[in-house]
Structure 1
Amino acid sequence: MTRIPRSLLPDGTYHAMSRGVARSTIFRDQDDRQLFLRLLLKVVERWSWEFHALCLMGNHYHFVIDASREALSAGMHRLNGVYAHGFNDRYNRSGHLFGDRFVCRVVEGDDYLHDLCRYVLGNPVRAGLCERAQDWPWSWSRYGFDEG
């Protein structure tokens, strides 16, 4: 299946996700996640992203954000590149950290947006990392943690 060129995507709400190469770990500990969140804050400020939800897992992360197409691509490129460089320095490794370019899908409609946020927040529960979504310290949603 071919990808839709990003240049054809509209500005709007996106589900963005990035995963470690060969599903390898991209967050080994709390310090990695805190570094990532500090970098993310800079990206949010520079490219004016607005978040609906986010979740940091061990080998991937999810964002549900409002952004222009250009801001999404530029911000994700910067975030993944700077984080990978810091991760490689910290662990004395080289090579790619992320497996492929980030995945993004346009989010259309409030019902889908709500369901998607619940899906993103439910990742750690489905992975057996916690019993309730609100117990995972590396997730956030502007809508709270609706278990429904």
Structure 2
Amino acid sequence: MSRKPRQWYPGARYHITARGNRGAAVFFNDDDYDMYLQLILRCQKEIPFTVHAFCLMTNHIHLLLEVYNHPPGEIMQFIQFRYAKYFNKQHKFNGHLFQGRYYSKLIETTSYFLAASKYIHLNPVNAGMVAVPEAYRWSSYPAYLGKEQHSFLTRKPLLDCFVDPKIQRYKNYIEEKGGKAYGDYCEEYRPEGA
């Protein structure tokens, strides 16, 4: 049975996740995380796309992307193939690093766009890895607060969903308790296995 083609068009936004094979770790150390981020930047130079948010967890990744003239599959193939090659060589492993195809959810509304960013940025908190999202180094959230910088990251579209002071209002939105979160908008919107 052939796979159903993924829907895409120029300007489409996606929440993309990819999980380690059998739930295994895909990052062992800081060098691994750094390499994945470097590959996002390298890919962006060859295949233009926008990164609105990201979070690299121990055994999976989250990306909030906007594509232009290339489908998300080309972007993910570029990054995942090169990262798996690096990882296997670095750690003397063989075989598949990632579990099957990446999962993607097309984002068609502003509320989903915001909710996806909230879900991504709260992932380390919900996993019990940190108490507050800005404490997690391998996420775009510290960059949204001006504490980090990633040349491949574009903050403006998410921040423009808020009135001034935009950064403070975005922070309030991410960290509010009891507010609508990603999964609250639509249960099937929750990424597979996340």
Same fold, TM exceeding 0.5?
A: yes
Identity of matched residues, % = 29
Query: 1:119-142 deviations in whole A, cap 9, x for unaligned?
Result: 011110011110011110111052
Question: 1:81, 1:3 → 2: CA distance?
Answer: 20
Deviation at 1:71, TM superposition (A): 3.9
Q: Name the SS of the counterpart of 2:140 in structure 1.
A: strand
CA contact (8 A) 2:56 2:139 kept: yes
The structure whose Rg is larger is 2
RMSD: 1.7
1:36 equivalent to 2:64? Answer no
Aligned partner of 1:128: which letter? G
TM-score (norm: length of structure 2): 0.70
Aligned length: 146
1:22 equivalent to 2:13? Answer no
- Tell me which of the two structures has the higher relative contact order, counting C-alpha pairs closer than 8 angstroms and 6 or more residues apart: 1
Question: 1:69, 1:76 → 2: CA distance?
Answer: 14
Deviation at 1:38, TM superposition (A): 0.8
Question: 2:104, 2:4 → 1: CA distance?
Answer: 10
CA shift in 2, pair 1:115/1:3, >3 Å = farther
The aligned residue for residue 107 of structure 2 is 107
Question: 1:24, 1:85 → 2: CA distance?
Answer: 16
Question: 1:10, 1:3 → 2: CA distance?
Answer: 18
CA contact (8 A) 1:124 1:130 kept: yes
1:147 equivalent to 2:175? Answer yes
Query: Can you give the 5+ residue segments of structure 1 that lack an aligned partner in the other structure?
Result: none
Aligned partner of 1:147: which letter? E
- Which has the larger displacement, 37-46 or 55-64? 37-46
